Amino acid sequence: MKSPIAVVVLAAGAGTRMKSALPKVLHPLAGWPMIRHVLQNSAGLKPARIVGVVAPGAKEVAAAFAPHATVVQRKPLGTGHATKAALGALAGHRGPVLVVFGDAPLVTTATMQGLIAACAREKAAVGVLGFRSADPTPYGRLILRDGELEKIVESKDAVGAERDVDFCNSGVMCLDGALLARLLAGIGNHNVKREYYLVDAVAVARAMGHRAIAVEGDEAEFQGVNSRVELAVAERALQQRLRTAAMLAGVTMLDPDTVWLSADTKLSADVTIGPNVRFGLGVSIASDVEIKGFCDIEGARIGRGAIVGPFARLRPGSEVGEDVHIGNFVELKATRMAKGSKANHLAYLGDSDIGARSNIGAGTIAVNYDGFGKWRTAIGDDVFIGSNSSLIAPLRIGSGANITAGSVITEDVPAGAVAFGRARQVTKKGRAASLRAKLKARAVAAKRARKK
């Protein structure tokens, strides 16, 4: 029987280089707070418990860990000290303890699982994830001897041949839970900063007669986020990961680098996405859907066979049914469009329910806001809404009705009725020339007056 796993997430850093009032680990990546990615990847291990280590007063960060426990690192005295703060929450745990960082959101479940499995296989008290880097200068070096991890040397302390080592420390560590308290107790603060570094657990374990190992991973997974620049780098890497997963699952992207996904975007097989499309949180798209270029979609569900765009915007609460067509410069907000309905050009449909096979003409506006409240418009099946119509909510238009172009509709329309609300046209024959002469004379007079 496998020993239960515990995960400690270190998230007490001040994040001063972010230059932000928002705590570093709450900055978004693919729509989620950074820490949520760490928790999601950690949860893939099916751990017995996850413990977050936060700074004093970091209520927002602690809330982001819910329902997992958090503990407070009272003083910023290093990673070893932060891990020690979690001992109380780990009481009774004797399985592997994985220590990860809240600002390293790209480490995958598979990579973490590989480290844990290697420690179990090699009966190691301490395991460290490392990576090969073309430029190891900024990183601590993993020094191996006879296949085991002898020590971790910080970049500034590396001398001689140690400087040439390209096997670098990621900071992710696995420690034997049965030995954890003793390992942490053995870490000293004999350094310039007078801090307790978790990496020193390697030397402590070896001094106790236990093994320490290093497991190699992909450098791309170990990008930490300490600044807005690094946040952008992580976003780009995560987007590439999400795009690749979507395409491998059967999604076509005509220009993948210009498609931006959220962490929870759900795309079915045989979805086709054009260039410059952004998906916000809460989007679900069924199969055989085409999203044309330059669309922005958030909080919406799109049914099988629908066509959306180009230049369409779908806002939260919108539901697009099967075979619906949403055309260029059409915006939906909290609107449901039933099977086969169409809004092909230049329309705003807010807080509306649109029946099956109904057609919404160009320039139509569902006038849903009166300055105080939002009201709904209900349109039945097989309704034709003529171009440039304003539908003043609250409003009901019955099935089969026809609204003539240019109308302002303020009252409910029964099923099968024709409705229009516009001024009667007046035509004055032969008056065009005199009107033009009058307008020209007025313009000339105005120009002369400005010159005086």
Reported residue count of the chain is: 452
- Catalytic residue, candidates 27, 68, 210, 345: 345
Residue with tokens 């796993």: 5
Q: Is the distance from CB of 360 to CB of 341 less than 8 angstroms? A: yes
Separation between Cα atoms, residue 309 and residue 307, nearest integer Å:
7
Q: Which of 170, 224, 221, 234 is nearest to 30 (CA)?
A: 234
Q: In this structure, what DSSP letter does residue 424 have?
A: P
Number of helices and strands in the chain (H, E): 8, 36
Q: What whole-number distance in Å separates Cα of residue 21 and Cα of residue 16?
A: 9
Residue among 18, 29, 80, 17 at smallest CA distance from 53:
80
Going by C-alpha positions, the residue among 314, 320, 364 that lies closest to residue 341 is 320
Identity of the amino acid at 389: S
The DSSP-derived string for 18-41 is G-SSS-GGGSEETTEEHHHHHHHH
Which long-range contacts does 49-52 make (Cβ < 8 Å, 24+ apart)?
49/6, 49/7, 49/89, 49/90, 49/93, 50/6, 50/7, 50/8, 50/9, 51/6, 51/7, 51/8, 51/9, 51/86, 51/89, 51/90, 52/8, 52/9, 52/11, 52/102
For residue 248 the two structure tokens come to: 């491998």
Q: Which amino acid is it at 94? A: R
The structure tokens 């860990």 sit at 65
Q: What is the C-alpha to C-alpha distance for residues 92 and 71, in angstroms, rounded to an integer?
A: 16
Residue appearing with tokens 């369409």? 312
Is residue 345 annotated as a catalytic residue, yes or no?
yes
- As annotated, the active-site residues are 345
